Amino acid sequence: MSPCVAAYELQSGGDQCTIPIEVRIALNDLNRQLITYESVSEAQLGQLTDALRHRRVVALTGAGCSTESGIPDYRGPGTRRRARNPVQYREFVSDAMARKRYWARSVVGWPRLSQALPNAAHRALAVMEQSGIVRGLITQNVDRLHHAAGSNHIVELHGALAEVRCLTCGAIEPRDSVQKRLLALNPGWHEQRAELAPDGDAELPTESIERFRVAACQACAGILKPDVVFFGESVPREVVVDAWRLFDEGDALLVIGSSLAVFSGYRFVRRAAERNMFLAIVNIGPTRGDSLAHLRVSGRAGEVLSRLVERCLGPGCRIDFGDRSGNPVVPR
């Protein structure tokens, strides 16, 4: 929906805030699922609100945005306990056993990832986009939970697990369809019990993987690969172009739930610093970009963003939309 449609205005002569029904519904959903964690200070929230309320915000989200939906991350709290080596791109494309290992584990992990629901952080960002506070999202996540929450302007930096691509002919097949074919080739495999790992992976014993059968492309019998960027693989050029185009729409960058250890995300923080854009980071634990940030808030994404929405869409916070093209006119 257009930011103009979602804009709210303070009624003249009073402080009652009129918010469109779409945004009110999203706010109600947000409040119902908000879980109380260790509180972020009011001073920090006040600083974040004041810094973002009159800026054009672009959000960069990482795995920490989805952990509250039950999806593990690679570098957050507890990572050391479940330390693991994800499959590398070169290994996947060159080694049949590596592909067998990946798909055997993915068949077990996919149902839980595909059934995950958006959490308070995803819904808060959707509300912020609908109300014109956020211009769009650049996400490092591959779970499509931002889409499920209602966000529209999204660049998926690392692709999405919901689709599978043939490395030979380029054909795309839905991941759910591949799941059915893999289970048909491996009866009873869904009964495997394993700990869920990041990106829909799961931990399985090596001996059980050896008997797993891998599905091929239905069009050309080529190698199938999830349509995501593996470790050691480059982000497609067209995706990078889309991400920079969205980045250029903002004058503030809000990083949520990312350690910024991977350069594909860290590059946007570096560019923000070069341009002296306002940079805020919301994350549990240190990040690679902390020394470049104007504001650093340590806390769970769901709590911080939910309270930020309440402040930005409450009385006293006004965003004017005077551009007939649908682009917000933000007071400076």
* Catalytically active residues, by annotation: 158
Q: Are strands 159-166 and 154-156 parallel, antiparallel or unpaired?
A: unpaired
Q: Up-side HSE of residue 75: CA atoms within 13 Å toward CB?
A: 15
Instruction: Count other C-beta atoms under 10 Å from residue 107's C-beta.
Output: 23
How many Å apart are CA 243 and CA 154, to the nearest integer? 9
Instruction: Count other C-beta atoms under 10 Å from residue 54's C-beta.
Output: 16
Measure the CA angle with vertex 135, ends 269 and 28; round to 5°: 115
Q: Any idea what DSSP says for residue 23?
A: H
Residues 6 or more apart whose CB falls under 8 angstroms from that of 300 comprise 37, 38, 68, 121, 284
Residue type, 256: I
